Amino acid sequence: MKKKSLILVLLAAPLAFGVVACNKSDSTAAQVEQQLAEAKAQAEKAEQELAALREQEAAAKAEEAQKQLEAAQAEAEAARKEAEDAKARAAAAEKASKKKQAAAAAPTPVAVSKPEPKPVCQDCGTVAGVSAVQVQGEGSGMGAVAGAIAGAVIGHQFGRGQGNTAAKVVGAAGGGYAGNEIEKRMRSSTVYDVTVQMDNGSTRTVRVADPSGISSGERVRVEGSNLIRI
């Protein structure tokens, strides 16, 4: 409405100039100039208002276009996010599917029973060492008798009377002891003590007459006073 009023004012300005020209004969020069100035001022004001109105319309259109652009950008951003979410969901679904397929294709584990531990052999072990031992024999009495006789004979060579008798007794006693010891030595023998470290942690010593084939590090089983290689 305001725009139409401005246009009417601009159209009426030339008419005003014409009216002023027609009335020159009846008006003074000052009045004519005043009327012209007023008409010119009204025309300029109308032009300014029209220009301002055009600027307002342009600004309104620019603002509307800016709003439309922002709305379009917001819709594009929402569409982009939706596309990214859909892509992420598809990737997760594919990963889950592959995992499920791998689990289905994997072989079923077979339970393997562990063998029961073997019982410890209580009579088995390892030879730790072999040492020789000299064992003195037992006297049978024959050596003592022979020694006593020999001692008595020797004692008979000394003294007379009771002295001779005492010498015989001492000689017989000494000869008997010496004869017995000699017999023991003659009957002595060498045996061997074998030390065995048992598997159960204990240690045994077995005395054997012949250690042939038995040496340190050998695995043996103890059966009474015998050693059996294993």
Q: Where are the domains of the chain?
A: 2-89, 120-136+188-230, 138-187
Whether the predicted pLDDT of 26 surpasses 70: no
Mean predicted confidence (pLDDT) in 102-131: 81
Q: Which residue do the tokens 């208002």 mark?
A: 49
Mean predicted confidence (pLDDT) in 46-51: 87
Sign of the dihedral defined by the CA atoms of residues 222, 223, 226, 228, in that order = negative
Whether the predicted pLDDT of 10 surpasses 50: no
Tens of pLDDT, residue by residue over 139-167, are 555 655 555 565 555 555 554 555 545 55
| C-alpha distances out from residue 2 to 10, 13, 24, 54, Å | 13, 17, 33, 12
Q: Are 214 and 229 contacting, i.e. CB atoms less than 8 angstroms apart?
A: yes
Whether the predicted pLDDT of 4 surpasses 70: no
Q: With helix as H, strand as E and coil as C, how does 136-184 read? A: CCCCCCHHHHHHHHHHHHHHHCCCCHHHHHHHHHHHHHHHHHHHHHHHH
Mean predicted confidence (pLDDT) in 209-222: 89
Whole-number average pLDDT of the chain: 75
Structural tokens at position 67 = 């709003």
Give the pLDDT of residue 162.
Answer: 52
> What architecture does CATH give domain 120-136+188-230?
Beta Barrel (2.40)
Give the pLDDT of residue 223.
Answer: 92
More reliable by pLDDT, 92 or 178: 92
Structural tokens at position 127 = 């030879």
Give the pLDDT of residue 177.
Answer: 59
More reliable by pLDDT, 87 or 107: 87
- Confidence category of residue 16, pLDDT binned at 50, 70, 90: very low
Give the pLDDT of residue 195.
Answer: 96
Whether the predicted pLDDT of 44 surpasses 60: yes
Q: 222: closest CA among 118, 119, 122?
A: 122
